[in-house]
């Protein structure tokens, strides 16, 4: 499930049976970044977007939606702080 949280923040939710190892989650996030980074032509200009991505997993980082959102948000801000256009997995 992909949902817009507001502004420029989006959420990707995977079902429990789609649990992935940390390396697979990072690779999925990098594939999302690559797709987002494809230039979009607007008139004569070309616009490219970059994304900082924070990842939190159930139950390692929280057992309810609010906790998981907060932990993913913290990881995203850590990604921005460390240089933007990065992927960070929340720390347990």
* Catalytic residue ranges: 8
Count CB neighbours of 44 within 10 A.
Answer: 5
Q: How far apart are CA 46 and CA 39, in angstroms?
A: 6
Count CB neighbours of 12 within 10 A.
Answer: 14
């Amino acid at each position: 499930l992909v949902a817009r949280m507001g502004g420029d923040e989006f959420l990707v939710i995977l079902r429990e049976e789609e649990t992935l190892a940390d390396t697979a989650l990072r690779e999925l996030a990098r594939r999302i970044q690559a797709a987002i980074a494809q230039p979009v032509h607007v008139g004569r200009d070309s616009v490219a977007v970059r994304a900082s991505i924070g990842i939190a997993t159930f139950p390692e980082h929280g057992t309810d939606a609010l906790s998981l959102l907060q932990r993913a948000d913290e990881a995203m801000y850590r990604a921005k702080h460390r240089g933007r256009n990065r992927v960070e997995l929340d720390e347990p």
